[in-house]
Structure 1
């Protein structure tokens, strides 16, 4: 009975959907996290009677055929790169991007990775690094005798040294943008990698050419909406139950047939 196999694909799809929702909820307080959504597509169809073919020679084509769908499958888990809310902090090295763009980070293998989490700190030599110790590109060093660090919306970094009135310009943070943010490969630890689907990174300074601005003393919160996720959770649970009911009904029908044979 095909209904058993068809409903099983539905249960499997909703299990995947539940796992995606669970990951969203688990990261509701993760800085810069982008919620995901499972995407589904119907499977191939079994044709018992083709439409558009004459039933007999000389007759008009059959207007409607008989095609039975064989279930559903997961085709993608899409990251939704919507802007998260900005939350103020007391750390001058906490940076948030208000708009489009990604911070660039030197990964452990020397490759450039990308993140929206701007929870930065200083390394042993004054380097600006992530909480995992990865260098933020372009590599800029804050002097050890700096008493104040200011970063404007254009990404320019100024440091005021001891016994000096005017701050010194240390450099400027650049941001990367992509034609297709959803094509980036999520690596965990708030890091993403460029892929053929995302397109090559286009780098430039904040507040220019459509890139977002830098907000010092802020962090971008997760864009997970708790109410929306609970609604999606209930929907997934009900869909799973309905597929389970189909399996139970198909089993009852098969049992009736079996009893009749005996």
Structure 2
């Protein structure tokens, strides 16, 4: 009887964890460049001195949906969308290198090019500083050029080039801050084949309809597991009655 209780109890707990993941995906349906998280269930035997006849249900994170999101034209100079596979390299809060598809950029009060979340955007040699009183433009290969914004236009000057990378997605994992990092923690190499689209951003790849259907399905599974627990309790009570009669 307790075999059923192990499965139903752990299954209900992990379903709640998957509901949290689905809710997290839905909450980021409007987040620029967001990649949906995917989970699955797996069975883990309970190891003890006896035979492993009892099994826990465990929620296993199997990875990330790396499919591209929709490209949305904004016309804003500091908006970038990575075209095809690839990532923008950024400097995380701890100083390590991370990767994002969120190309909604800004220039802070010190002239440093940053993401909307305040992370420094990296070039081959480090953070990028934009000179004051200039207009900038982005080329497809990530080259940042400036033109003097005074009354008399000056010559175009190359400031820096974005570090655009395309590491194997099998070597990428999502960190706690939502930025992707390499599993081996080594910086990815620059990939000349990665390009950007200026004046556009990439939307989230979360499918709202699929996520809502998944939430309903998980709710039904939770109800089923709770019913199994009630059935196990009822069966145990009836078994006690038979034992008392005998």
Query: Above 0.5 in TM-score?
Result: yes
Give yes or no for the alignment of 1:194 onto 2:176.
no
1:14-33 aligned at under 5 Å gives the runs 14-33=15-34
Give yes or no for the alignment of 1:218 onto 2:200.
yes
Aligned-partner Cα distance in 1 for 2:131–2:190: 25
* Structure 1 residue 125 displacement after superposition: 3.9
Aligned-partner Cα distance in 2 for 1:255–1:43: 28
* Structure 1 residue 182 displacement after superposition: 6.5
- Provide the alpha-carbon RMSD of the alignment: 2.4
Q: 1:114 maps to which residue?
A: 99
Are the equivalent residues in 1 in contact too, given 2:93–2:119 (CA < 8 A)?
yes
Aligned-partner Cα distance in 2 for 1:224–1:69: 36
For 1:137, what is the secondary structure of its paired residue?
Answer: strand
Q: 2:166 maps to which residue?
A: 177
Give yes or no for the alignment of 1:11 onto 2:15.
no
Are the equivalent residues in 2 in contact too, given 1:150–1:157 (CA < 8 A)?
yes
Q: 2:141 maps to which residue?
A: 154
Which sits farther off after the overlay, 136-145 or 229-238? 136-145
TM-score (norm 1): 0.80
For 1:202, what is the secondary structure of its paired residue?
Answer: coil
Which sits farther off after the overlay, 153-162 or 134-143? 134-143
Aligned-partner Cα distance in 1 for 2:168–2:202: 21
Larger Rg: 1
* Structure 1 residue 69 displacement after superposition: 5.8
Aligned-partner Cα distance in 2 for 1:180–1:228: 23
Aligned-partner Cα distance in 2 for 1:235–1:143: 53
Q: Deviations over 1:66-91 (max 9, x none)?
A: x9562421232522121111112242
For 2:153, what is the secondary structure of its paired residue?
Answer: coil
Distance 1:181 1:167, change over 3 A: farther
1:1-262 aligned at under 5 Å gives the runs 1=1, 2-44=3-45, 70-138=55-123, 139-146=127-134, 148-161=135-148, 162=150, 163-164=152-153, 166-181=155-170, 183-188=172-177, 190-196=178-184, 200-206=186-192, 208=193, 211=194, 213-260=195-242, 261=244
Aligned-partner Cα distance in 2 for 1:227–1:182: 29
Distance 1:133 1:249, change over 3 A: closer
* Structure 1 residue 20 displacement after superposition: 0.8
Aligned-partner Cα distance in 1 for 2:232–2:118: 56
Aligned-partner Cα distance in 1 for 2:44–2:59: 10
Equivalent pairs, count: 235
For 1:187, what is the secondary structure of its paired residue?
Answer: coil
Which sits farther off after the overlay, 172-181 or 95-104? 172-181
TM-score (norm 2): 0.85
Are the equivalent residues in 1 in contact too, given 2:167–2:189 (CA < 8 A)?
no
Where in structure 2 are there 5+ consecutive unaligned residues? none
* Structure 1 residue 136 displacement after superposition: 1.0
